[in-house]
């Protein structure tokens, strides 16, 4: 079996090719979770089954996306506005319902909270024995859906603490280190599922002929530095001077290249494997930024810390940030250690300049 402590190059199998290929083809997600936990305990079985249900949701959404252009009434807007104040896409609602459906009759997840629902959704038949809460963004990169550019689903699993009798999910308002597992599904040329249970980051590729997610990259390590910077420069004049100075720096220095796909999952996926930094800073209008902490930024921060990278709000690690409400937003700077540290140095310098300017006024 594949050694868990070394990034295994799964494209160049060891000598006993035949056994290895069979073994690789049998390394499904649920099996990999159990191997990671090295246990068949009820908790391990539950987490493995939970991940398998997320994989099923991914397959159902991938199938819909792959045929959306040939089907009536699948693309476009619903005409509604969600709790974020954003116009809702039909695919957002479809994907949201899929995640709810796959957990029905599971006894696993009692409560689901998503970008598309004002309040958490309870699956009565799973409560109270279902001790897990699933937080998710059913379609990340919604602006890409109607033009067939990659999108994703982001998920985070937490233990339910307490009864949450008033349904306000106060027990979820804790930092990201409380996550038991996190990951995303990328709907791109191939469909990939990337996850972590706190034991490294691993990627699975959907094999349509098997209908199974098969292990394709194990123990992914994000390079210390990468040439890519990924940010919507259209917001340049809305940013704090320190972020503008960082962008001016990469514009003036060799070796940097811009990549921004409009879906954080896709931009993050590139950086996870090839290094670099993704930024969605706060703006004058939205100092707290755009991306949601509990089901967008915290799951990605959980992954990047496991792959050797960093994730910050600019002033604290994303995994230490505590949301004041379910749909709280946060500025996000995430990626390779050196590149995130460079952005932070500009922010700290900016803070020092502001401090000195204030002192000078006194």
Site for ligand FBP, rule CB under 6 A: 86, 115, 137, 140-143, 232, 262-264, 290
Judged by CB, which is closer to ligand FBP: 86, or 349?
Answer: 86
Residue nearer to ligand FBP on the CB measure, 86 or 146: 86
Residue among 32 and 89 whose Cβ is closer to ligand FBP: 89
Q: How far is the CB of 339 from ligand FBP (least distance, A)?
A: 17
CA–CA–CA angle 68, 203, 317 (5° rounding): 100
Whether the bond into 128 is cis, omega within 30 of 0? yes
Beta strands (DSSP E) in the chain are 77-81, 87-89, 109-114, 121-122, 132-140, 151-159, 181-187, 191-196, 202-207, 212-217, 228-230, 257-258, 277-280, 310-312, 332-335
The number of helix segments (H) and strand segments (E) in the chain equals 8, 15
Given a contact cutoff of 8 angstroms between Cβ atoms, the answer to whether 200 and 310 are in contact is no
Closest alpha carbon to 29 in 271, 221, 210: 210
How many Å apart are CA 258 and CA 270, to the nearest integer?
A: 12
What is the rounded distance in angstroms from the CA atom of residue 344 to the CA atom of residue 173?
A: 26
Tell me how far, at minimum, the Cβ of 115 lies from ligand FBP, in Å: 6
Smallest distance from the beta carbon of 138 to ligand FBP, in angstroms? 9
**Nearest residue to 185 via CA among 91, 243, 81, 269:** 269
In sequence order, what are the residues at sequence separation of 6 or more whose Cβ sits closer than 8 angstroms to the Cβ of residue 258?
228, 229, 230, 231, 233
Please say which residue, 29 or 145, places its beta carbon nearer to ligand FBP.
145
Q: Among residues 62 and 88, whose Cβ is nearest to ligand FBP?
A: 88
Q: What φ, ψ does residue 248 adopt, rounded to 5°?
A: -60, -40
Neighbouring residues of 79: CB distance < 8 A, sequence distance ≥ 6: none
Q: How far is the CB of 291 from ligand FBP (least distance, A)?
A: 6
Query: In the bound complex, what is the minimum distance in angstroms from residue 296's beta carbon to ligand FBP?
Result: 7
Residue 263 vs 271, nearer CB to ligand FBP: 263
Residues counted in the chain:
362
Provide the minimum distance between the beta carbon of 350 and ligand FBP in the complex, in angstroms, as a whole number: 22
CB of 297 to ligand FBP, least distance (A): 10
Nearer to ligand FBP, 269 or 290 (CB): 290
């Amino acid at each position: 079996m594949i050694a868990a402590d070394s990034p295994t190059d799964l494209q160049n199998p060891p000598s006993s090719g035949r056994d290895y290929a069979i073994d690789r083809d049998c390394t499904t997600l649920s099996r990999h979770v159990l191997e990671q936990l090295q246990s068949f305990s009820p908790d391990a079985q539950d987490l493995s089954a939970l991940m398998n249900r997320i994989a099923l949701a991914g397959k159902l959404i991938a199938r819909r996306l792959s045929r959306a252009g040939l089907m009536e009434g699948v693309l476009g807007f619903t005409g509604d506005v969600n709790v974020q104040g954003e116009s809702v896409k039909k695919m957002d609602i479809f994907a949201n319902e899929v995640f709810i459906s796959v957990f029905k009759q599971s006894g696993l997840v009692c409560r689901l909270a998503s970008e598309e629902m004002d309040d958490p959704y309870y699956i009565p038949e799973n409560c109270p024995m279902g001790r897990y809460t699933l937080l998710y963004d059913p379609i990340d990169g919604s602006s890409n859906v109607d033009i067939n550019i990659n999108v994703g689903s982001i998920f985070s699993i937490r233990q339910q603490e307490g009864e949450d009798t008033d349904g306000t999910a106060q027990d979820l308002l804790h930092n990201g280190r409380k996550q038991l597992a996190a990951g995303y599904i990328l709907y791109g040329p191939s469909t990939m599922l990337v996850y972590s249970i706190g034991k490294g980051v691993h990627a699975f590729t959907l094999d349509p002929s098997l209908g199974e997610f098969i292990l394709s990259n194990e123990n992914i390590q994000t390079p210390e530095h990468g040439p890519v910077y990924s940010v919507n420069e259209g917001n340049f004049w809305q940013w704090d001077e320190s972020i503008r100075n960082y962008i001016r720096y990469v514009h003036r220095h060799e070796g940097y290249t811009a990549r921004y796909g409009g879906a954080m999952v896709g931009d993050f996926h590139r950086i996870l494997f090839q290094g670099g930094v993704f930024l969605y800073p706060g703006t004058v209008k939205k100092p707290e930024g755009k991306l949601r902490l509990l089901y967008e930024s915290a799951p990605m921060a959980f992954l990047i810390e496991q792959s050797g990278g960093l994730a910050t709000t600019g002033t604290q690690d994303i995994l230490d940030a505590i949301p004041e409400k379910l749909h709280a937003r946060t500025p996000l700077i995430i990626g390779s250690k050196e590149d995130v540290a460079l952005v932070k140095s500009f922010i700290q310098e900016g803070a020092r300049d502001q401090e000195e300017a204030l002192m000078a006024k006194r």
